[in-house]
Amino acid sequence: MKRRCLSSSGWSSCFSMGLWTALLVSDTAAAETVAIPASKDNTLYESAGGALSNGAGPDLYAGKTAAGSIRRGIIAFEVADSIPPGSTIQRVSLRLSMSRSVAGPTAVDLHRVHADWGEGTSDAGSSRGGDGAPARPGDATWLHRFFDAVRWVSAGGDFEAAPSADAVVAGQGGYVWQSEQMARDVQGWLDDPSTNFGWLLKGDERVSQTAKRFDSRENPVSVSRPQLLVEFAPPPQAPKVPASSVPGAILLALTLSGAAVRAMVRRARALSEPSRDPRASASSPSSP
């Protein structure tokens, strides 16, 4: 460990720079992972009247039915309630359980939603959940963010055109969506919670009979409910060095260092002044 010293008039004051630096530099916290449950979810059922929903139902839907009607799932998570402000999001993954479909492997995209929306008390159940139920006040529908007072700008939801992530969904089982863009989405929601409106699940809507059923947050099987896993680095902690914990030797060294610097300054000033030798004045010839 490198040591630096200041000396003057026989005094020497040295201290370990590495040790003092270690006292001042804050510790870097290790990455942490949190599992966040969905705070709300729903399904947007394509319909001319925009009066169908499934806010309290056990399922979500994405894709196109055999009858050619589009279904879009929508889901959100309270990120700021689970992660300390100022944290850095490192990795994000969304886990959903797909419980029914007659379609083969189909891509399901995740799109960031642009506006707030609601989850009312409508419940289509599991047997006819794909058809939806009459929307209740506050429900999100194909036309409404909050039935029946506030509408989407565009029918079918307002969302980012480019997907944040995608996954190929085949048979029944668990599926994971993960990408760098999802991490950026969550970072933005953490930094500004007022922009957190979640994601929209968009299946293959080009052809019929591609719809997939996913378990919602109200599903009776708790392990099948949506879950957002977030790996993050907490903000660095401010250094805490109480005076009582600093070794007395270091405090003494710092005090002596200050005294040594002042002594060196005085010595330098003295050396820079012209010499005033009284003998030189006595030997000089007198004026006539």
pLDDT of residue 33: 98
Given the candidates 3.30.70, 2.60.40, 2.60.120, 1.10.10, the CATH classification of the domain at 32-233 is: 2.60.120
Q: Which residues 6+ apart lie within 8 Å of 276 measured at CB?
A: none
pLDDT in tens, 21-65: 444 444 456 899 999 999 999 999 999 999 999 999 999 999 999
SS3 assignment, position 57 = coil
Question: Which range among 28-37, 193-202, 265-274 shows the weakest confidence by mean pLDDT?
Answer: 265-274
64 contacts 209 by C-beta, under 8 angstroms: yes
| 288 has a pLDDT exceeding 90 | no
Query: What is the C-alpha separation between 196 and 218, in angstroms, rounded?
Result: 21
pLDDT in tens, 107-162: 999 999 999 999 999 999 987 889 999 999 999 999 999 999 999 999 999 999 99
Question: If you average pLDDT over every residue of the chain, what do you get?
Answer: 84
Amino acid at 140: A
Query: What is the C-alpha separation between 13 and 256, in angstroms, rounded?
Result: 6
17 contacts 252 by C-beta, under 8 angstroms: no
Tokens coding 96: 């959903």
pLDDT of residue 14: 39
Query: What is the C-alpha separation between 112 and 284, in angstroms, rounded?
Result: 95
Query: What is the C-alpha separation between 214 and 71, in angstroms, rounded?
Result: 12
User: Burial level of 263, CB count in 10 A (0-12/13-18/19+)?
Assistant: middle
Query: What is the C-alpha separation between 113 and 117, in angstroms, rounded?
Result: 9
Element at 230 (helix H, strand E): strand 227-233
Q: Quote the distance between the C-alpha of residue 67 and its chain's center.
A: 40
Query: What is the C-alpha separation between 80 and 196, in angstroms, rounded?
Result: 9
